[in-house]
Structure 1
Amino acid sequence: MSSFFRRLYLGSISPPLVVKEHDALRIGLLGASNIAPEAVILPARSHPEVIIYCVAARDRNRANIYAKKHNIPVVHDTYDDVINDPSISCVYLALPNSHHFEWALRALKAGKHVLLEKPSTSNAIEAKKLFDHPLVTACDAPVLLEAFHYRFHPAWQTFLDLIHNDPSAGPIKNVYSQSFMPKGNFPDNDIRFKYSLAGGCLMDFAAYNISHVRQMLDDPHPRVQSVVFRTHEHSSTTSPVEGENPEQVDEAVSASYISQTGAIGHVVADMNSRGGWPLLPRSWTQNWPSIGWPKCTAELEEKLIDDHTTHGEKHLVQRVVTLYNHIFPHVYHCITIEDKHIIRLGSEDLRSWVERKNVKAYTWPGDSEDCHGMEWWTTYRYQLEEFVNRIKARHGNGLWISREDSISQMEVIDETYRKGDLKLRPTSTFDIDDGLKE
């Protein structure tokens, strides 16, 4: 229990403040966002090569209050002032989804490296335009990273290794990812529920689940089989803003996918979860907030084990691996491994038994000069480490999210919307050349 509180305190409450190097990267924040403290401000405290230098928001007064609260030395009047500030080399972009495409391009045009909150853009059209733009593909282009932070944590990579590379791991059969946020956590006027700002569960909460399934299936572009959405209009108690199209905003999704090998992936996500309380009448609890463990599960096919103790018999193992708390494994996580062993002669199973064990991975195994980390490092701190390594042209641990990966992610999201008969999120009309002539 003491290690839990230590991780929580050092990682998410008060990370140690280290002495900054003379050539530390200075980051400007676009937007006084709720996510920035956890995503970059706190992680930067313990990184000797990162300084959070400036911020701008739509409301200057809000930016001033935000800067004072988080000890940010400079407040700018506009986003343009941030990206054109010669004192910074990087931008953290956590504006509403609908603004990602435009301001990522503007920042890249200004020569700034960009840490871009997920999802990278509003849809696949924008993703292709962004990641295929010469500002990104040029050999001397600034670094652009879509911030799927969980992928940089040892727990997630250990989980993937157990289902893809372990000697007992057979081919993938079924995978599943779920996430729930209790009803009322986000108000009805939250940007997540605004179509014009590219809101929706797939564009926020479920983006993680789709990312999980794509990796577990080891297929960047699985085909959508079925989709059921619950849209925000069904639960909203306030009058929608004109033009917001609440009937097009998904607050929950259940979807299935099939990989090129025939493996099946399932996604269940709800960012307004309610009901489902056991032992109580549904009529009482159908609108009560509810929650469930965020988890990923992979069920594998049988794998033949090289076992010299058997005589004419086959020793097979069928594995099921579950990662609990896939989004924030730095707070707490547990990887459960269940291996069912089968001794088979011909078509007859002679005997079987199950072996279970739990695994945790807060740091990288062994000693490696390329894989740094502390037990209390958050997913965001691990991500920041690799972002800086890439800017500094260091190899690091080799983890990265490629442009192809980011494009495929948005393509799968778009195809899920189409299959579920919802509109794609609106495409920006911004043109980088025209926009910068204004």
Structure 2
Amino acid sequence: MASIFSHMKNVYLSMSPPIPAPSENDHEPLRMGILGAANIAPNAVIVPSKSSTGLEVTSVAARDSKRAEEFAKSHGIAKVYGSYDALLKADDVDVVYNPLPNGLHLKWTTEAVMNGKDVLCEKPLASNAQQAREMFAVAREHNRVVLEAFHYRFHPSLHEFAYHLRKALTPENPLVGVKASMMVPGGFIKDSDIRFSYPLAGGALMDCGVYPISTVLYAVRVAGEGARAGSNFDFATWSSGIEVVNADSVLFSTSDKKVLEAKAYLNARGEPGIDEATSARLLVPVPGSPARQKVPCEISASLKTYRDTKIPLLGWRVPKLSLPTVEATLKDGTKVELVNYIAPSIYHCITVTSPSGQQQQYKAYTPSPNSSTDLGVTAAVDGKWEPTVGKPWWTTYRYMVEAFDLGVQAFKRGTAPMFVAPPSSADDAKNRKGGWAPVWMDNRESEVVMECVDKIYEKTGLGKRI
């Protein structure tokens, strides 16, 4: 019973975190401006920053000035700018969070970079892979930090999953399959939502499908050799070897007359262009595999998930709740599974199932001692946290905010943006004169995720977003 109350307390603290004591940092907190009064912003940066001594949300700008004022008042944000441009040109803004619709990520992230701001950009990074490459090219040209907000990558539960996966692997018992899903219950998202807008680069694969894509890529990197964030691993060549064997989409459908009249779900040819669900099977090369092994990976994503049965007589469809899950299978049948990789601070479970069916379960609400072992360091392809970092109530977003702050600070002290990821060796650390972030998602992998999205959409016949 005590553990239940303790867990409930942690969930409460994640939503209403304690204000930290005055900072002992050697720098003033980064002042963050938010582009748009987006619904995701409170969970992603506003609440997490309240318990941070390194970053604070100080301003917001929105197209609707009244909405911006209300948003700022509701969330205790001190300053409202009358336009995105004004916020990006402001001297009292150090970094920018871009949670705008997918189709606007490229424009406003590059505008921020060209105005000397470092950017935390929501996933998916852009409408397509070419836009992602263009975004990072501009960031390199202007020497700024851009991080894609794949928040789950920063939580210790994923690093613990990687540890147990790596522990089970041997040359004779390799990884032979990965499955990952992200299924949103039906009715949770309105049909009028921008997620179903083709001009804004919407769709299930774009919104929730990038999670399972990035998760299977992570698992395969853990099983390989040398594919660490910030290393000299050739992500482009790796990506070129990824094959989409098959892919299927369920087209968006609605009975909402206003949505039908608006026709936002239609592509430029006037044809349905939005998927409400997509599944795909990929073959992903194992980095460093001498036999050039490719692992079959299955991804499933839906913005409208319902049970097969309906309520008798009424005929109503029943929403289906399923937790985002990733499962890795080895040659001997061993399975390593992480349930609820998206919101592990609320609940998660890592299960290792032996070929005989015996199960061992693990959890990591804070960094596990396993992460500091040699095996844990090897498994941590995006880096790891020291055991002293974090609290049991820290969400994925809170860990992400911590990493973003540390990455930007490392850059300000002299580390080049491309080297703010943790070093893979002592020699590699020499490139990081200003230090590094303990955990980081490599820009080049963000490009690989978008390249997979493009390939899957092309395979379904819907075509990549434009």
Q: Normalising by the residue count of structure 2, what TM-score does the alignment of the two structures yield?
A: 0.80
C-alpha distance in structure 1 between counterparts of 2:89 and 2:21, whole Å: 27
Q: How far, CA to CA, are the matches of 1:113 and 1:102 in structure 2?
A: 14
- Contact kept, 8 Å, 2:367 with 2:386, in 1: the verdict is no
Which structure has the highest strand share of the two? 1
Structure 2: distance between partners of 1:226 and 1:284: 36
Query: Structure 2: which 5+ runs fail to align?
Result: 225-237, 286-292, 373-384, 411-433
| Alignment pair present for 1:193 and 2:196 | yes
Instruction: Tell me the residue number matched to 1:312.
Output: none
CA-to-aligned-CA distance 1:382-402 (integer Å, 9 cap, x gap): 111111111111646632111
1:275–1:286 CA contact under 8 A, matched in 2:
no
Q: Given the alignment, which residue of 58, 64, 72 partners 1:67?
A: 72
- Per-residue CA deviations over 1:167-208 (Å, capped at 9, x if unaligned) read 679311111111221211111110000000000011111110
Alignment counterpart, residue 250 of structure 1, candidates 253, 260, 275? 275
> Aligned partner of 1:117: which letter?
E
Q: Between 237-246 and 397-406, report the one with greater CA deviation.
A: 237-246
The equivalent of 1:409 in structure 2 is: 449
Moved more, 327-336 or 220-229: 220-229
Please give the alpha-carbon distance, in whole angstroms, between the structure 2 residues aligned to 1:360 and 1:248: 40
Compared with structure 1, are the counterparts of its residues 288 and 355 closer, same or farther at alpha carbon in structure 2 (3 Å cutoff)? closer
More moved, 377-386 vs 398-407: 398-407
User: 1-side partners of 2:451 and 2:162: how far apart?
Assistant: 23
Q: When you count helix as a share of all residues, which structure comes out higher? A: 2
How big is the shift at 1:283?
9.0
1:291 and 2:321 correspond: yes
1:333 aligns with 2:348: yes
The within-5 A match list for 1:64-213 is 64-133=69-138, 136-138=139-141, 141-166=143-168, 170-213=173-216
The residue type equivalent to 1:239 in the other structure is L
SS at match of 1:42: helix
- Show the counterpart of 1:360: 363
Residue deviations 1:265-305, cap 9 Å, x none? 1111111112324xx78997673322223211111113xxx
Q: Is the 8 A contact 1:370 1:396 kept in 2?
A: no
Cα distance, 1:131 vs structure 2 = 1.1
Q: 1:86 to 1:6 in 2, by over 3 A?
A: same
- Identify which range, 318-327 or 97-106, moves more after superposition: 318-327
- In structure 2, the residue matched to 1:266 is 298
Cα displacement string for residues 68-117 of structure 1 (whole angstroms, at most 9, x for unaligned residues): 00000001100011111101100000000010001000100111110000
The higher radius of gyration belongs to 1
Q: Tell me how far apart the structure 1 counterparts of residues 106 and 217 of structure 2 sit (CA, whole Å).
A: 23
CA distance in 1 between counterparts of 2:337 and 2:457 reads 27
Identity %: 35
Cα gap change, 1:290 to 1:149, in 2 (>3 Å): same
Offset of residue 164 of structure 1: 2.8
**Cα offset for 1:153?**
0.3
Report the residue type matching 2:152 in the other structure: Y
Contact 1:123 1:411 survives alignment (8 Å)? yes
How far did residue 420 of structure 1 move? 0.4
Cα 1:338/1:73, change in 2 over 3 Å: same
Aligned to 2:461: 421
Pairs aligned (count): 393
Displacement, 1:58? 1.0
CA distance in 2, matches of 1:144, 1:254: 29
1:323 paired residue number: 338
2:140 is matched by which residue type in structure 1? T
Q: Let me know the Cα RMSD of the aligned residues.
A: 2.2
Return the letter of the residue paired with 1:83.
L
Note closer, same or farther for the CA distance 1:186–1:243 as it changes in structure 2 (3 Å cut).
Answer: closer
Distance 1:416 1:193 in 2: 18
1:400 correspondence with 2:440: yes
Partner of residue 40 from structure 2, selected from 24, 35, 39: 35
- Letter aligned with residue 260 of structure 2: S
Query: Could you tell me how far apart the structure 1 residues matched to 2:78 and 2:107 are?
Result: 26
Name the CA distance, whole Å, in 2 between partners of 1:361 and 1:37: 24
Deviates more, 1:364-373 or 1:401-410: 364-373
Cα shift readout 1:336-378 (whole Å, capped 9, x = no counterpart)? 11112xxxxxxxxxxxx44311000111123875861111111
Q: What's the CA shift for 1:319? A: 1.5
CA distance in 1: counterparts of 2:200 and 2:22, whole angstroms: 37
Change (3 A) 1:112 1:70: same
Per the normalisation by structure 1, the TM-score is 0.84
* SS of the residue 1:275 aligns to: strand
What SS class does the counterpart of residue 405 from structure 1 fall into?
A: helix
Cα distance in 2, alignment partners of residues 395 and 118 from structure 1: 26
Contact 1:104 1:114 in 2 (8 A): yes
Change beyond 3 A, Cα 1:199–1:282:
farther
1:306 aligns to what?
none
